[in-house]
A and B are shown apart, each in its own frame.
Chain A
Amino acid sequence: MPDLAAPEGKPEEPGRPPKSVPVRLLGVLDRYRGLTALAVVFLLGACVSPRNLTTAQIVFLTPTNQSNVLFEYAEIGLLAAGMTLVILTAGIDLSVGSVLGFTATIFSFLLIAKGWAVVPSALVAVVGGALCGALSGMLVARLRLQPFVATLAMMAAARGAAKLVSGGIKIANGAQPWYVMQDAPPEVFTWMTAPVAGGWLRPVTLAFLATLLVLAVVVRYSRFGRHLYAIGGNEEAARLSGIAVRRSKVMAYLLCGLTAGMAGVCNACHLGYGDPEAGFTYELDAIAAVVVGGTSLMGGRGGMMLTLVGTLIIGYVNKILSLLGWQEAQRLLAKGLIIVLAVVIQETRRR
């Protein structure tokens, strides 16, 4: 996990006396504080989780439960992965939830209403998501709109487009008389959500993890990735040092839209239909995952693997509260508390 030693980690200063073992251990813990927070949440889960009433296993630790968390938060994770790129440039993308709804609708529309094959439908959906992102990016980079405003507009527009495509209702087999596919739902819906090779992973989960890995490599090792940090750190300095600031920004938003498109496809498979309302308020979960992971909203600091950690923290917290059967009031309070705690753990050393 290259990014965990995030760029803000200070190199050892020369000329100091060697540190004792406990101090060095604390130092390691500190450098990996995202992972520390995750470990704390994980331990908490193992301690408080109920046991299965017949097998007496600790439910939280079962492989099924672990795979469930990855499976359920694959969409949020995909959104968060794209969001990380944008946040690294000190921007924000509020439209990802709506873009998810739009692409989920497009995907199922082509598949169910038009009888297209899976691959072209998915491609059109993902490209549609990328176009939404590119449009936001151009509004931000070329027309110099504030990211918040530009993506707020896209948030409304994409939701409108989703409802226009579907005529306001969910796209499922047989739901509208003019839907071609009248009998069984498309096989891809089942296939994408069924465990593969007898294992605990499902294609949706794999798509999420693979995308995250690719983007982690891009952010860490490509020139584009370094430019994102530079822009987020100091945009003017980045521009003066010859970085194509606008192009990189458009690219970041485009990739963010693209992951939202993938999340849309996953969402349709997850639910078994295309819902124009899908992804409502998901952007908040995605931003929370990025921030809890340790990427700074001010830009220039953070990384993709931190976002995986953040997504897992959010997923675990929700799962623990759900397993405990807590009611909504306590859940919301606990969630707020844990998000603050996680970010405090992240931020204390920086001040």
Chain B
Amino acid sequence: MANIQQVTRRHAVVSETRHLLFSVMPGAVWILIFLVLPSLYLMAVAFMTNGAYGLPELPLSLDAFKQLAGFGFLGWSPGNLYTLLRSLWQTLVSTGLVVLVAYPIAYYITTCRTSLRPLMLLAVVVPSWTNQVIRAFGWMNLLAPGTPLSDAAQALGLIGDYMGLYPSNFAVTLGLVYNFLPFMVLPLYAAFEKLDVAQVQAAQDLYAAPVRAFWHAVFPQTLPGLLAGTVLVAIPAFGMYVIPELLGGGKGMMLGNLVANQFAGGSNWPLGAAGALLMLLATFVGLFAMRRIGKRLGGGEEVVI
């Protein structure tokens, strides 16, 4: 009796394993070959020497990382460091601005009629369905020299005569805010929608001033959404390629452009790979940090991407 059970159980385990292999393996193998392998190769490239035509060659070296820090044939130059700092700065500023715009918007949507809300969310999200190249092109049209916005900026003395608002660092910031706004509105809206109003009422009953009631009863409850939004905005913003390339001109370059130029121009693969490695590091550090903070807040699951 026991024997038969054992045999059938073993049979079940074998068929389960076969089943697992059949269902999961094709995808796992695909991702291993076409994603993990290329990523590992890219990591290896970062530690190789820059050879002819910019292709990586042995021996292994740390040249690429030295170059990324600014050490070239002609001694140290701050160019790459500026690019890195600009990426960090643009990420910080645009994420902050996105929060400032998205927070009231997300709150306002929750104050509207329930039947209206999906439509309002859709209105926020629809522009981001258009290709990002087209959206950046729209801003190029709006901010070019001779357009009303540029004329107004000239009249105010913000920019010189015959100049446009684009290309500039300002245009890049604007483009980033424009691009990432929906990614902040959606998680914040979800947080506002779940808001426990009893807590706010309790605060009011205890005669808390509106600001205090907001700070102690509303803000902490929206923190998980804010955190999720920050992950969704800051990480892709740091590696942005299209917006700085189109709206920033030569002086608005970010890390993504530095990396891409090393490959597209075919000039220096190891340097580009080193930059990509840095971006990857920033991504995982960011994700890890957010996860830790999210867990401490208790809303851990929402923050997991």
Q: Are chains A and B native binding partners rather than an unrelated pairing?
A: no
